[in-house]
A and B are shown apart, each in its own frame.
Chain A
Amino acid sequence: MAPSAVPRAAATTVQNDSDAAKLAVWKQALYERVQESGRENDAFSQDDLIDLGVIPNGDKMLLIRVVQALSDDKLFVTMRDASNNILWKWRDAQEAHKYKQLDDEQAMVYSLIDDSGGDGIWSQTLQRRLNMHDSVLKTALKHLQTKGLIAPFKNVEHPNKKMYIKASIQPSDRATGGPWYTDQNLDEAFIEDLQRVVFDYVKNQSSYVSKHSGGGRTQTPSKGVVKGNPDRGKKRDAREMNEPPAKAVKTSAASTPREAVLLPLPAGYTGYPTVRDIARLLSASGITNNTILSESDVKKLVDVLVWDNLLEPIRVAGKIGYRVSRVSKQSTDVWAGREDPTGREGQPESYLSPYTEAPCGRCPVFDLCEEGGPVGPSNCEYFKKWLGME
């Protein structure tokens, strides 16, 4: 309670001291009762307040006086519901104290900012709602800022808008973007690295490293020679288009060194990591040092990897685990923590389409290409390079 408020409230509503004292007691009682009875954002109608039993005999006149006094002290906030009934909400005493320091304009501005909570409010919205003069609003905001009641901040959803938030609260997850944002920017490097860690972890947990030539025979054409690099299909760089095709190399299955390969695990394997397992790994490893990733955050991360066709969900024994896609084609190297700028080493192997491997599939002028046109098969630069005829 704010005892200093009593004389002023008393002066406006009651004449003598005893009345004032009684009113103060009722005020105190009602305020405490309201605080105990409901949560912070519960609104009370007149009937609700009477039902609390603080006001003797349900005396409505008395109730009005008490509520008026509380409102004057900024301890009660008056509001209307959809059907225009008047409701009251209580406000924290400390907050109320802040309001009392402010003049009317500042109080109005502050209350709007207060209402917007963790999401903050745009200065233009303030102006539109309050219909204030620009300079009045500006001085009010400045005043509030110097008093340390509000703070300007940036919302990731509207990075260009000037937003204000109460200085005492943290911006909500929606406003900061959750753990994926650092200084209001999407932290792509962080996300990318986490994805690699998750991918590596799932790959390890969902595959079996065989050092025999476990995958079976290496496929060799029944006739002819293998041209090009006999190594396992590395994703090729676009620059390789420029290089002449490698010399024909004769290989036989026996001479290829036995590399460690990954094998799929038997059907019904229950050890595929779930979202919870991954979240646990991430928090235990301490990679995310001061950010805390909830399970739903990790789910988002895993979903993205699924959409990228790197992982696939599998349901075993009633829970959804994740395993790596195209397991036997993945390399045993780790993807995370690679320094090389291309990021190709240890990268997941994805299914290559024959269409995009040849020049036409990534030709920038494919739409124009026509025999007899400005570009066409007879003067195609890309084919020349691809066929090594330069």
Chain B
Amino acid sequence: MLVTKHAAELCALLVNDLYGELPSRILIALLTKGRSTIPQLVQQTSLNPRHLRNGLGVLFHQNLLYARTEPGSKTTTYEANPDACYNLIRSGKILEVLEQRFGAAERDLVQTLMLLGHARIQDLGQAFSTRAPQANGETNGTHSMLIGSESRLRSVLARLLQAEIVEAVRADTFRNPAEVLDEYKQEMAKASPGDRISNKDKIVNDEKAAERYIAFRDNGKAIKRQLDQTRGSYAKRRKLQNGHSTNGDIDDDDAPHLNPNIIVRVNYEKCLVELRNHRLVAFASDSIGETTASVYRTLLDLTTAHMSRCRIDPLAAVKEPEPAPITVTTLDIFDHLDESIDVSRGIGKVSGDKIDTSSVEKVKMEVPQSDDESDIESDDDGPIPNGRSNIRPRGNTGQHNDDDPFSESDNDTRTNGQRPSRVTFDDTSTNRAARIEQMRQHLLLLKDSKHRFIRHCGTQGRGQWTVDFRLLMARFRDAEMDAVIEQSFGRHGLRLTRILRERGKLDEKMLYSSALMKKGDVQGKMLAMQMAGLVDIQEVPRDTNRLANRTLFFWHFDGEKTQAQLLDDVYKAMLRCMQTLQVERHKERNILSFVERKDVQGKEEEVMTAEHYNKYNSHLEVQDRLLGQVMRLDDMVSVLRDF
């Protein structure tokens, strides 16, 4: 994470909000001054060492620091971990996504872990055993959802460990990964003989270092591997449990034995993968429709089950190739699809002869290299899966006799996949076949979208599908950027930047003739966007005199720069929301401190006067609004930076 001024302030503010002023002050010092030792920090923060150690303790416990003790000397240096600080803001979102994906017990456990930062398994067990009766009392009747026993805890924890949501902590987890890699590189350089190192050696060394780094990084997953061996992999178990609701059905007997001294914490990298799925589903729902999005959700859950991180770790990039895309088959998706989803909805109905089967079923084995709409231009006829096309919808002409593709029929079996029901077969199998076909329609729709949500990459199991995350996210980022440009500079501004993106650098004349806009309007728009740093002008002199009338002027649009700028602006907007919230809290501090009293909590309405109660309520509304906005801005940050 590149720490800009606003990002640093935001991190400090978040820590301040959650853990108080002391850690926040230390964090600011660490962010501004970089790696420091305790004496240095004493000087920078003017705190006394005892306070400082307390504050560092809090930060350390919440994993917000990188720390390193040089083996020779006994001094320890501390460094801020801005990514971890920023992730604090996502806690709520992560918990919500985890509850949806896994269940209430898992959510509860992760929430506890988030509060504690990191914890020993034994301590967790104690924490839950003391909490259990209380939880039972409060949520009567739903106690099976929560963690009541030691074995239950272990099985829940094992699930999370296997899903990589939770990882084990070791002493060197608190080291800055970049630093670790550097150290390995230095060791490699030392080990190699001779004074001068050739380029080739250097590459080999770098690769070796990266290899060691990957081993170091994946150390925390050793326990997951162990569990996978003893219990069978997570995906397999999930498959076995399919059909039941995902929670509450775990037999506590198979709780694995976990070393009680292992320390665990939340693995945010994997949580981000889950968040990304969530976001992509929302995106698909926005651009296609909800039913399609729920099919997409199932597909994403399957493809990302073994994905540890959203992007390739840049530190290990030399050794770690882009992972082979994970493919799933239509049947797999179908088996995992929530049965309550009515896949017959969400797609319009047309008669079968208006569907071009061959272009729909085109299989693309290779990851497309470029990001443009190349396959709009190219017309390579990929292999048409045979044996498939005869199952493809021949249309509903048999059943509904409608010639008008846009007519409305009132029965619900109006999807294209519907074939005339065959009475000779038993009902369930026909239903199943029809449902699969209907679901396939949604998959094809996802494939055909301009965002290319998925790629049709094979024909086994009634079609294999994969997601090219890198390209997809690039398009997603563009969509976010487009939305901001459109709302800041209007439809015309968007049009001009899109022309520049598509065609590269352009002369002004070309610009207004293709945009169908007045010259003056184009100039005004371009100037406004230049002021905002979106577009820039390049001068190309036609001769050595560099006279203005002998110079060509080209407009160009720098997408990367714009994204970086936008990201910082979003940090700033988030910061301002949080600060406004603080201002509001300060204004209402009397009421708020009253509400915080133990004897008031829970019965505010009875205790407070009507006037105060109303004020309190409107403050809560303001807070909801501001925090909601921060969460939405965080969605943008995730898309622009993390996914």
Beta-carbon contacts of A66-89 to B below 8 Å, as 1s and 0s? 000000000000000000000000
**Residues 280 to 303 of chain B near chain A (Cβ within 8 Å):** 285-292, 294
Q: Determine if A304 and B495 form an interchain contact, defined as CB atoms under 8 angstroms apart.
A: yes
List of A residues within 8 angstroms of B416 by Cβ: 266
Instruction: Say which residue of A210, A214, A271, A361 sits within 8 Å of B354 (CB atoms).
Output: A271
Instruction: Say which residue of A219, A264, A308 sits within 8 Å of B494 (CB atoms).
Output: A308
Q: Give the nearest-CB partner of A185 in chain B.
A: B518
Say yes or no: A270-B355 contact (C-beta < 8 A), given A216-B291, A361-B484, A366-B572: yes
Q: Give the nearest-CB partner of B294 in chain A.
A: A216
* Beyond A269-B350, A270-B354, 11 extra complex contacts between A and B, CB < 8 Å: A216-B289, A266-B445, A314-B376, A315-B375, A328-B346, A353-B487, A353-B636, A355-B573, A356-B483, A366-B569, A378-B583
**Residues 345 to 390 of chain A near chain B (Cβ within 8 Å):** 350-358, 360-362, 366, 369, 371, 376-378, 380, 383, 387, 389
Q: Does A107 contact B (CB under 8 A)?
A: no
A360 CA / B621 CA spacing, docked (Å) = 19
Q: Give the nearest-CB partner of A326 in chain B.
A: B287
Question: Least Cβ distance of A294 to chain B in Å?
Answer: 15
Beta-carbon contacts of A325-350 to B below 8 Å, as 1s and 0s? 11111000000000000000000001
Question: Least Cβ distance of A312 to chain B in Å?
Answer: 4
From B376, B448, B486, B516, residue with most partner A Cβ within 10 Å:
B516
List of A residues within 8 angstroms of B516 by Cβ: 180, 186, 191, 300-301, 304
Q: Give the nearest-CB partner of B518 in chain A.
A: A186
Question: Least Cβ distance of A71 to chain B in Å?
Answer: 38
Question: Least Cβ distance of A212 to chain B in Å?
Answer: 8
List of B residues within 8 angstroms of A351 by Cβ: 286, 479, 482-483
List of B residues within 8 angstroms of A266 by Cβ: 347-348, 350, 355, 393, 416, 441, 444-445
Q: Does A268 contact B (CB under 8 A)?
A: yes
A317 CA / B507 CA spacing, docked (Å) = 36
A211 CA / B514 CA spacing, docked (Å) = 39
Stretch at the interface among B34-42, B159-167, B544-552, B622-630: B622-630
Question: Least Cβ distance of A234 to chain B in Å?
Answer: 14
Q: How large is the interface on B (under 10, 10 to 19, 20 to 34, 35 or more residues)?
A: 35 or more
Q: Determine if A263 and B347 form an interchain contact, defined as CB atoms under 8 angstroms apart.
A: yes
Q: Determine if A320 and B376 form an interchain contact, defined as CB atoms under 8 angstroms apart.
A: yes
List of B residues within 8 angstroms of A314 by Cβ: 376, 448, 450
A215 CA / B527 CA spacing, docked (Å) = 42
From A186, A209, A268, A270, residue with most partner B Cβ within 10 Å:
A268
Q: Determine if A353 and B480 form an interchain contact, defined as CB atoms under 8 angstroms apart.
A: yes
Q: Does B580 contact A (CB under 8 A)?
A: yes
List of B residues within 8 angstroms of A270 by Cβ: 354-356
Q: Determine if A360 and B347 form an interchain contact, defined as CB atoms under 8 angstroms apart.
A: no
Q: Determine if B579 and A268 form an interchain contact, defined as CB atoms under 8 angstroms apart.
A: no
List of B residues within 8 angstroms of A358 by Cβ: 573, 577, 629, 633
List of B residues within 8 angstroms of A327 by Cβ: 288-289
Q: Determine if B629 and A354 form an interchain contact, defined as CB atoms under 8 angstroms apart.
A: yes
Q: What are 26 of the A-B contact pairs (CB < 8 Å)?
A: A157-B509, A214-B346, A216-B346, A263-B347, A266-B445, A268-B444, A270-B354, A300-B514, A303-B514, A308-B495, A315-B359, A315-B375, A315-B376, A316-B356, A326-B287, A327-B288, A350-B483, A351-B479, A351-B482, A353-B636, A355-B569, A355-B570, A355-B636, A356-B487, A357-B629, A360-B577
Q: Give the nearest-CB partner of A174 in chain B.
A: B513
Q: Determine if B355 and A269 form an interchain contact, defined as CB atoms under 8 angstroms apart.
A: yes
Question: Least Cβ distance of B112 to chain A in Å?
Answer: 21
Q: Determine if B635 and A354 form an interchain contact, defined as CB atoms under 8 angstroms apart.
A: yes
A251 CA / B640 CA spacing, docked (Å) = 33
Main secondary structure of the interface of B (DSSP, over half): helix
A389 CA / B618 CA spacing, docked (Å) = 9
List of A residues within 8 angstroms of B360 by Cβ: 267-268, 316
A317 CA / B416 CA spacing, docked (Å) = 18
A383 CA / B573 CA spacing, docked (Å) = 11
List of B residues within 8 angstroms of A329 by Cβ: 286
A357 CA / B149 CA spacing, docked (Å) = 47
Question: Least Cβ distance of A157 to chain B in Å?
Answer: 8
Say yes or no: A309-B486 contact (C-beta < 8 A), given A186-B518, A377-B583: yes
Residues of chain A at interface, number, CB under 8 A = 69
A100 CA / B181 CA spacing, docked (Å) = 89
A354 CA / B487 CA spacing, docked (Å) = 10
Q: Does B358 contact A (CB under 8 A)?
A: yes
Say yes or no: A219-B290 contact (C-beta < 8 A), given A314-B448, A355-B636, A358-B573: yes
Q: Give the nearest-CB partner of B378 in chain A.
A: A315
Beta-carbon contacts of A235-269 to B below 8 Å, as 1s and 0s? 00000000001000000000000000001111111
List of A residues within 8 angstroms of B480 by Cβ: 353
Q: Does A56 contact B (CB under 8 A)?
A: no
List of B residues within 8 angstroms of A317 by Cβ: 356, 358-359
A42 CA / B228 CA spacing, docked (Å) = 83
**Residues 328 to 387 of chain B near chain A (Cβ within 8 Å):** 342, 345-350, 354-361, 373, 375-376, 379
Q: Does B488 contact A (CB under 8 A)?
A: yes
Q: Give the nearest-CB partner of B487 in chain A.
A: A356
Q: Determine if B633 and A268 form an interchain contact, defined as CB atoms under 8 angstroms apart.
A: no
Q: Does B612 contact A (CB under 8 A)?
A: no
Q: Determine if A215 and B286 form an interchain contact, defined as CB atoms under 8 angstroms apart.
A: no
List of B residues within 8 angstroms of A304 by Cβ: 495, 514-516
Q: Does A208 contact B (CB under 8 A)?
A: yes
Binding site for B on A (CB under 8 A): 157, 180, 186, 188, 191, 207-212, 214-217, 219, 227, 245, 263-271, 300-301, 303-304, 307-309, 312-318, 320, 325-329, 350-358, 360-362, 366, 369, 371, 376-378, 380, 383, 387, 389
A39 CA / B405 CA spacing, docked (Å) = 53
A233 CA / B370 CA spacing, docked (Å) = 34
**Residues 550 to 604 of chain B near chain A (Cβ within 8 Å):** 566, 569-570, 572-573, 576-577, 579-580, 582-584
Q: Determine if B495 and A383 form an interchain contact, defined as CB atoms under 8 angstroms apart.
A: no
A387 CA / B625 CA spacing, docked (Å) = 8
Q: Does B307 contact A (CB under 8 A)?
A: no
A58 CA / B516 CA spacing, docked (Å) = 57
A157 CA / B499 CA spacing, docked (Å) = 20
Question: Least Cβ distance of B621 to chain A in Å?
Answer: 8
A373 CA / B280 CA spacing, docked (Å) = 39
Say yes or no: A377-B569 contact (C-beta < 8 A), given A191-B516, A325-B450, A354-B633: no
Q: Give the nearest-CB partner of A356 in chain B.
A: B487
List of B residues within 8 angstroms of A377 by Cβ: 576, 579-580, 582-583
Q: Does B406 contact A (CB under 8 A)?
A: yes
Q: Determine if A216 and B494 form an interchain contact, defined as CB atoms under 8 angstroms apart.
A: no
List of A residues within 8 angstroms of B491 by Cβ: 308
A184 CA / B415 CA spacing, docked (Å) = 52
Say yes or no: A264-B580 contact (C-beta < 8 A), given A269-B354, A351-B482, A356-B487: no
Q: Give the nearest-CB partner of B583 in chain A.
A: A378
Q: Determine if A268 and B448 form an interchain contact, defined as CB atoms under 8 angstroms apart.
A: yes
Q: Determine if B580 and A380 form an interchain contact, defined as CB atoms under 8 angstroms apart.
A: yes
List of A residues within 8 angstroms of B479 by Cβ: 351
A188 CA / B348 CA spacing, docked (Å) = 35
A362 CA / B494 CA spacing, docked (Å) = 16
Q: Determine if A263 and B346 form an interchain contact, defined as CB atoms under 8 angstroms apart.
A: yes
Q: Does B317 contact A (CB under 8 A)?
A: no
List of A residues within 8 angstroms of B580 by Cβ: 377, 380, 383, 387
Q: Give the nearest-CB partner of B492 in chain A.
A: A308
Q: Give the nearest-CB partner of A263 in chain B.
A: B348
List of A residues within 8 angstroms of B375 by Cβ: 315
List of B residues within 8 angstroms of A307 by Cβ: 494-495, 498-499, 502, 515
Q: Determine if A188 and B573 form an interchain contact, defined as CB atoms under 8 angstroms apart.
A: no
Say yes or no: A208-B349 contact (C-beta < 8 A), given A266-B355, A307-B494, A317-B359: yes
Instruction: Say which residue of A209, A219, A301, A366 sits within 8 Å of B408 (CB atoms).
Output: A209
10 nearest A-B pairs in the assembled complex, by CB-CB distance: A208-B348, A268-B360, A267-B444, A354-B632, A360-B573, A377-B579, A353-B483, A216-B290, A317-B356, A356-B487
Q: Does B47 contact A (CB under 8 A)?
A: no
Beta-carbon contacts of B609-643 to A below 8 Å, as 1s and 0s? 00000000000011001100100110110000000
